[in-house]
């Protein structure tokens, strides 16, 4: 382990040179890799699997779950273990559902608004709660997931209680110059898939940018030593609320997407188990990597779809996997490919 830690450390030093904006040799390598990833997502997969609605749906799920988990990853970068992401996905989902069913607002407006609603709520709750650290923060956020579920359950006419909100309208078609490019109907999940990929790609780009900018470094400094950060004049409270709000924003967007995708939302759509899963994806992929949450989410989502037989035991296997991951692969799957993926590394424990 000692050896392992030193390796990680050295690479992060290399990373720093990029992040503080120097010769972009490493960065261009990353860009190339990222372009390849986007190409696969947008072209290769639809061509290969476009005819199988089933696989496309699975991948759509994977993409949006990755997106939501990336928010959790950001809260990890300020040194907080966030078990409330399910709650904020629920908030986003309900915001979208209420806005579209009650007020007939278009999905395309609902999507960002739901994200903002989640972010605003996250900022309000985060302000006091983020003063807690470690297990205290984890406990509180876990309770928060349950609290928001209860809120949805007792929301009366607004949330429709346990029956949830159903018949959420589908997104309107996207057209350019009068030509409809994507039509969101029930028959073909491909448009949803494209939307999900767009979210994911934007999410990765956004987090990447964040990570390399001074904001990313400020977040990292909070993770490593909040008192020291304060002493050099960093407004710790502001930045940790900012990080948490970004996280909730991503949760809200993801929740809104799924609400429109499934056309329904219930209080039980996101429970504690979901909050835990979002975190598991991050850990499984590797907290030190921007691609970590995506790798973790796709890996688990796809493998479960492939292994129909064991689906009943999903949580059992997740539990075992989590234990195994912590015991034998505490730095995540991507740490295995350290040499190849070294450039992607952005955050080190």
Quick check: 255 and 89 in contact, CB under 8 A? yes
**CB-nearer residue toward another protein: 80 or 195:** 80
CB-CB contact of 136 with 266 (8 Å): no
CB of 224 to another protein, least distance (A): 4
Q: Is 343 in the site for another protein (CB under 8 A)?
A: no
- Cβ atoms of 79 and 222 within 8 Å: the answer is yes
Q: Give CA–CA dist 101/282, Å, rounded.
A: 33
Q: Residue 131, interface with another protein (CB under 8 A)? A: yes
- Segment near another protein (CB under 8 A); pick from 59-67, 112-120, 145-153, 337-345: 145-153
* Alpha-carbon distance values, 338 to 26, 111, 335 (Å): 15, 36, 5
CB atoms under 10 Å from CB of 348, counted, come to 18
174-176 and 165-166 strand pairing: unpaired
* Between 208 and 341, CB nearer to another protein: 208
Q: Which of 57, 143, 188, 343 binds another protein (CB under 8 A)?
A: 143
CA 183, 205, 203, 314 torsion: positive or negative? positive
CB count within 10 Å of CB 81 equals 18
CB closer to another protein, 112 vs 134: 134
Stretch that binds another protein, among 40-48, 93-101, 129-137, 182-190 (CB under 8 A): 129-137
Nearer to another protein, 31 or 131 (CB): 131
CB under 8 Å, gap of 24 or more: what pairs does 224-228 form?
Answer: 224/79, 226/79
Q: Does residue 172 interact with another protein by CB under 8 A?
A: no
Closest to another protein by CB, 20 or 40: 20
The residue among 207 and 256 lying less far from another protein, judged by its C-beta, is 207
What are the tokens at 179?
A: 């030509």
Q: How far is the CB of 27 from another protein (least distance, A)?
A: 12
* Rounded CA separation 259/162 (Å): 16
CA distance 335 to 208: 18
Q: Which stretch binds another protein (CB under 8 A): 55-63, 101-109, 180-188, 226-234?
A: 226-234
Interacting positions 263-292 with another protein (CB under 8 A): 272-273, 276, 279-280, 283, 287
Q: Please report whether residue 349 would count as binding another protein according to CB under 8 A.
A: yes
Q: What part of residues 183-212 is at the interface with another protein (CB under 8 A)?
A: 209-210
Of 52, 175, 230, 303, the one binding another protein by CB under 8 A? 230
Nearer to another protein, 51 or 209 (CB): 209
Cβ–Cβ < 8 Å for 91, 121: yes
Q: Which residues inside 313-332 make contact with another protein, applying CB under 8 A?
A: 313, 315-316, 318-323, 325-327, 330-331
Shortest distance, CB of residue 58 to another protein, whole angstroms? 22
Which residue in 61, 221, 335, 346 binds another protein (CB under 8 A)?
221
Which of 9, 109, 166, 268 is in the footprint of another protein by CB under 8 A? 9
Residue (178 or 308) nearer to another protein, CB: 308
Among 129, 245, 248, 297, the residue binding another protein under the rule CB under 8 A is 129
Q: Which residue in 176, 179, 187, 232 binds another protein (CB under 8 A)?
A: 232
């Amino acid at each position: 382990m000692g050896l392992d830690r030193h390796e990680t450390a050295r690479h992060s030093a290399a990373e720093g040179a990029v992040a503080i904006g120097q010769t972009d040799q490493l960065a261009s390598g990353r860009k190339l890799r990222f372009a390849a990833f986007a190409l696969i997502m947008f072209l290769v997969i639809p061509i290969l699997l476009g005819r199988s609605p089933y696989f496309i749906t699975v991948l759509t799920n994977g993409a949006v779950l990755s997106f939501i988990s990336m928010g959790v990853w950001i809260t990890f970068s300020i040194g907080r273990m966030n078990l409330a992401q399910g709650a904020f996905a629920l908030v986003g989902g309900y915001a979208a559902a209420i806005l579209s069913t009650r007020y007939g607002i278009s999905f395309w407006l609902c999507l960002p608004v739901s994200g903002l609603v989640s972010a605003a709520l996250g900022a309000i709750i985060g302000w006091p709660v983020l003063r807690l650290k470690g297990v205290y923060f984890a406990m509180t956020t876990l309770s928060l997931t349950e609290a928001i579920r209860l809120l949805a359950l007792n929301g009366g006419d607004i949330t429709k209680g346990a029956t949830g909100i159903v018949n959420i309208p589908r997104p309107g078609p996207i057209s350019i110059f009068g030509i409809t490019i994507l039509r969101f109907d029930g028959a073909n999940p491909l448009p949803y898939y494209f939307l999900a990929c767009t979210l994911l790609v934007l999410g990765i780009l956004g987090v990447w940018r964040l990570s390399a900018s001074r904001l990313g470094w400020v977040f990292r400094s909070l993770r490593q030593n909040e008192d020291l950060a304060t002493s050099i004049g960093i407004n710790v409270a502001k930045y940790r609320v900012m990080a948490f709000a970004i996280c909730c924003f991503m949760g809200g967007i993801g929740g809104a997407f799924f609400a429109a995708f499934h056309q329904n939302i219930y209080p039980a759509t996101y429970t504690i188990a979901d909050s835990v899963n979002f975190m598991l994806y991050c850990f499984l992929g590797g907290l030190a990597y921007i691609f970590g949450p995506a790798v973790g989410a796709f890996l688990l989502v796809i493998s479960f779809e492939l292994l129909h037989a064991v689906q009943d035991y999903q949580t059992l296997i997740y539990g075992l996997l989590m234990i195994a991951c912590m015991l034998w692969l505490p730095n995540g799957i991507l740490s295995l490919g350290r040499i190849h993926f070294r450039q992607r590394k952005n955050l080190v424990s």
